[in-house]
Amino acid sequence: MSVLEQITENLIKGKAKDVKELVAKAVAEKIKPADILNKGLLSGMSIIGERFKKNEVYVPEVLIAARAMKAGMEQLKPLLAAAGVQPKGTVVVGTVKGDLHDIGKNLVCMMLEGAGFKIVDAGINVEPDKMVQLAKENNANLIGASALLTTTMTNMKSVVEAVKAAGMSGKVKVMIGGAPVTQAFADEIGADGYAPDAASAADLAKKLSGVK
Amino acid sequence: MQIKTFIVIGENIHCTRVLKRDGNLVDAAARVIRYDDGGKKKTLPIPEILLKSADWENGKIKHCVAAIWQGLYGQGPAQEAGCDYLRVMAAKQEKAGASFLDVNVDEFSMDLPERIKAVQWTAALVQGASRLPLSIDSSNSDIMRAGLKACEKARGRPMVNSISLERIGLLGAVAEYKPAVVASAAGEKGLPANTEERLDNLGRLIPQLTAKGIQMDWIHVDPLVYTISTEANNGKMFLAAVQAIRAKYGPAVHIIGGLSNVSFGMPARKLINQVFAYLAVEAGGDGGIVDPLQINAKILQGLDANAEPFQLAKALLLGTDDFGMNFIAAHRAGKLG
């Protein structure tokens, strides 16, 4: 098994220490940092994401895989920067105003990070303008808005409108998700996309960013 | 441990609850939901409008929405099936020892007047099928008021689920209807992160309730249950809060919680929920917003605290099983029953 395959396999098992050592080994073998990222770490996260979508793995297993991903990334980050490898995009993620639920939002952050995006976690109960402001400050190309309640999902529309009002339509795309949210609702409020779960959110973010 | 009473606020009539389209309880080809009425096999036709929904496309169906929709708008046998489905749900929960039947229609539709109509209709129907008082579960004060108004006074105090500093606007309705209340430990702006914040929030909420004539034994404190799948200490933290609340407020107040939240994202949820309820009682709790078919005094009393599955779930809930890996491994090995 190649070192990259070993990285993938240990990441899936959530073995942070082993992933860290294997990334160091891959670097020593002069494998390109971008290949270590894409063919080692990210391919592991994408397998975990697929299994999570099919209910084959449970939330804690996604968490330890994400932790292993982080351990590998710490080794890799300076090298990626030196090699000029950019994140796939930057996403501001938050639970909308009036809504205090964060489990789904946190899972989305994790899967997006695992897919190679830079995450700006705006937290819970976030004002629409705050999301737009964070997108501006961080030069983000995406906003991910989450809501668990029918009463707060209407605030997703305010996010779409705030992006429009700031003249950032097209530049910053809005993706939404959460238990009561549907594709039809996304269409109705003019959001750029809807994802039914955290793993799909990562796929959607890639699609909206025009990256693989 | 002797568990003689456990107040069950039966959570099953809830419009967010989904069944899997490909699961045992749905016949996707025949477009019906299957249910069992004391051994008799019955079916509820799924309304056309829900077959066109994104939920259905995503492999899910909100079964209570289907039943209420048929009851409100269906014709002939379909309408009768909608009513019957809810009656059976109510009767099953009463038989299993529920003290209140929770009714939540917040996800019935996007339209507020329609949700108000739904809560009124469902409250009347459920009361026709059971002697229990209702618990009106809504984050909207108009729905809450409409639900309370639909509750028959003769059957005992209805319940407000829930009031908190964040939803203090409900105080008026509480003063008017003098209901039992679920007093949530949520703050004005956010959820409490530890026992101190819970006590602080409750310390500012409970006096406002008693000032409106609500007695301590009508109050059901919900310290708020967070899932252990994302943070291993969340189970332990809830139990510590239960202990502290009991110590501060004495024996009169009830301490409950939406206990099944704890197992979100985990396998063998029923086992985790039952053990969590058991531990909550040990810590001084005396009830839960739960499915009485899975959790009631008799079931909790019958749990074997020395059995391996119980011990594994307990370790998970107390945060000593790192990332639940032992528990998940035991589940995969078929050791959890």
The answer to whether the Cα torsion of A53, A58, A62, A68 is positive or negative is negative
pLDDT at A151 over 80: no
Q: What is the pLDDT of residues A8-67, one digit of tens each?
A: 999 999 999 999 999 999 999 999 999 999 999 999 999 998 898 888 999 999 989 999
**pLDDT tens, residue by residue, B184-230:** 999 987 789 999 999 999 999 999 999 999 999 999 999 999 999 98
Parent domain of A22:
3-82
Q: Are residues A50 and A104 in the same domain?
A: no
Query: B60: part of which helix (H) or strand (E)?
Result: strand B60-62
Q: Residue A76, CB half-sphere, CA atoms under 13 Å: how many?
A: 31
| Surface-to-core class of residue B4, CB atoms within 10 Å of its CB (0-12 exposed, 13-18 middle, 19+ buried) | exposed
Which residue intervals of B105-170 are DSSP H helices?
112-129, 141-149
Boundary-marking domain end, from A48, A82, A116 = A82
Sheet holding A173-177, edge to edge: A118-126, A90-96, A142-146, A173-177, A193-194
Instruction: Count the residues in chain A.
Output: 212
Q: Are A123 and A164 found together in one domain?
A: yes
User: Which chain A residues touch B189 with a CB distance below 8 Å?
Assistant: 125
Least confident of A173-187, B107-121, B245-259, B308-322: A173-187
Lowest-pLDDT choice from A100-114, B36-50, B167-181: A100-114
- A25 by Cβ neighbours in 10 Å (0-12 / 13-18 / 19+) ranks as middle
Q: Which long-range contacts (CB under 8 A, 24 or more apart) does B166-171 make?
A: B166/A100, B167/B139, B167/B141, B168/B205, B168/B208, B169/B141, B170/B141, B170/B144, B171/B208, B171/B209, B171/B212
Domain count, chain A: 2
Quick one: A99 and A201 in the same domain? yes
Same domain membership, residue A120 and residue A49: no
Judged by phi (left if over 0) then psi (alpha if -120 to 50, else beta), residue B225 lies in beta
C-beta separation of B221 from B264 below 8 A:
no
Bridge partners of B160, per DSSP, are B136, B181
Residue A129: the pLDDT is 96
Burial A102-141 (b: 16+ CB within 10 A, else e): bbbbbbbbbbbbbbbbbbbbbebbbbbebbbebbeeeebb
pLDDT of residue B91: 97
Residue A143 and residue A112 in one domain: yes
What is the pLDDT confidence band of residue B254, given thresholds at 50, 70 and 90? very high
- What average pLDDT does range B119-134 have in this prediction? 98
Instruction: Verify that A54 and A95 share a domain, yes or no.
Output: no
A126 & A200 share domain: yes
Q: Are B47 and B70 in contact (CB under 8 A)?
A: yes
Read off the CATH number of the domain in which A16 is found. 1.10.1240.10
Last residue of a domain, one of A47, A82, A117: A82
- Please report which confidence band the pLDDT of residue A98 belongs to, taking 50, 70 and 90 as the band edges: confident
- Verify that A105 and A51 share a domain, yes or no: no
Q: Is the pLDDT of residue A195 over 90?
A: yes
Nearest CA in chain B to A54: B59
Adjacent-strand bridge partners of B288: B8
Instruction: Quickly state the pLDDT bin for B5 (edges 50, 70, 90).
Output: very high
What residues of A are in contact with residue B57 (Cβ under 8 Å)?
Answer: 183
Alpha carbon A156 to chain centroid distance? 19
> Is the model's pLDDT at B54 over the cut of 80?
no
Domain end position, chosen among A51, A82, A113:
A82
Question: Tens digit of pLDDT for each residue in B288-332?
Answer: 999 999 999 999 999 999 999 999 999 999 999 989 999 999 999
Q: Do A63 and A108 share a domain, yes or no?
A: no
Looking at the structure, tell me whether residues A116 and A204 fall in a common domain.
yes
Query: In this predicted structure, what is the pLDDT of residue A31?
Result: 96
Contact B264 A180 (CB under 8 A): no
Q: What is the mean pLDDT of residues B31-42?
A: 97
Q: What is the mean pLDDT of chain A?
A: 92
Question: Which ipTM value was assigned to this complex?
Answer: 0.85
The CA-atom distances, in angstroms, between A38 and each of A43, A109, A116 are 6, 18, 9
C-alpha distance from A108 to closest chain B C-alpha (Å): 12
Establish how many alpha carbons lie within 13 A of residue A127's alpha carbon, considering only the half-sphere containing its beta carbon.
Answer: 5
Tell me if residue A71 falls in helix, strand or coil: helix
pLDDT of residue B189: 77
Q: What is the pLDDT of residues B236-247, one digit of tens each?
A: 999 999 999 999
Q: How does residue B57 score in pLDDT terms, banded at 50, 70 and 90?
A: confident
Residue A185: CATH number of its domain: 3.40.50.280
pLDDT of amino acid A148: 85
- Whether B107 and chain A come into contact, CB under 8 Å, resolves to yes
Residues A44 and A7 in one domain: yes
Contact yes or no for A61 and B54 at CB 8 A? no
Minimum CA–CA partner of A107 in chain B: B230
Q: What is the pLDDT of residue A92?
A: 97
Chain A interface test: which of B109, B229, B231, B317 (most A C-beta within 10 Å): B229
Q: At residue A212, does pLDDT exceed 80?
A: no
pLDDT tens per residue, range B70-110: 999 999 999 999 999 999 999 999 999 999 999 999 889 88
Q: Give the per-residue pLDDT at A101.
A: 82
Is A151 within 8 Å of chain B by CB? yes
- Average model confidence (pLDDT) for chain B? 96
**pLDDT confidence bin for A197, thresholds 50/70/90:** confident
Asked if A117 and A141 sit in the same domain, the reply is yes
Q: Is the Cβ–Cβ distance between A73 and A41 less than 8 Å? A: yes
Handedness of CA A187, A188, A190, A194 (dihedral sign): negative
For residue B58, the chain A residues in CB contact (below 8 A) are 196
* DSSP 8-state assignment for residue B6: -
The reported pLDDT for the residue numbered A117 is 94
Angle between helices B234-249 and B308-317 in degrees, nearest 10: 80
Cβ proximity of B132 and B101 under 8 Å: yes
